[in-house]
Amino acid sequence: MPEHRPALAVTTGAPTGARVLAAVLAGLVVAGTSGCATASGTPGENACAAPAVEADPATVAPGDTMEITGVGFAHGCEDHPAAEESTSMTDVPVRWLQGGVTVDLGVVDADEHGGWALRATVPADAVPGQARIDASPSTGVEITVGS
């Protein structure tokens, strides 16, 4: 990773409040613009985004069918200088979590872009309230169980 240096350096005299503030702000601007870059060297948009899960619909009832999708399920970061290439995650367990009960909904393999989709049935014993769909290593997604 390239070394980041502040764009503003205080070169003479004791640091004043304004000089220290300017140096800190310059360092934050430089640090804030670093991150993943595309193969061309430009900053990548969501290039190294963490895995994420969505469920449709977001409000369900026991026995309903829902479409669960995932993005970013790849090992490595193809635009990171240290990564030779990214590989899609396989055998990702997708689970329903509610009130201490865990139900396996299926196992998925991500495609070459790190995405996947799964049609699953809401467990018959789901109770009204919040539930979570989990697909590690994502943080999962919350859904609502209606009555």
pLDDT at 147: 78
Output DSSP code: residue 137: T
- Residue 133 included in any domain: yes
Query: For residue 12, is pLDDT > 50?
Result: no
Q: Is the torsion defined by CA of 88, 92, 95, 101 positive or negative?
A: negative
- Residue 115 included in any domain: yes
CA–CA distance, 124 with 74 (Å, rounded to integer): 32
- Residue 45 included in any domain: no
pLDDT at 48: 65
CA–CA distance, 49 with 31 (Å, rounded to integer): 18
pLDDT mean over 2-29 = 38
Number of domains making up the chain: 2
Q: What is the pLDDT of residues 18-45, one digit of tens each?
A: 443 333 333 433 333 333 434 444 444 4
pLDDT at 8: 31
CA–CA distance, 14 with 20 (Å, rounded to integer): 10
pLDDT at 138: 92
pLDDT mean over 121-141 = 96
Q: What is the pLDDT of residues 58-117, one digit of tens each?
A: 999 999 999 999 999 988 765 454 555 778 999 999 999 999 999 999 999 999 889 999
- Residue 85 included in any domain: yes
Domain, as residue range, for 68: 52-145
70 and 122 assigned to the same domain? yes
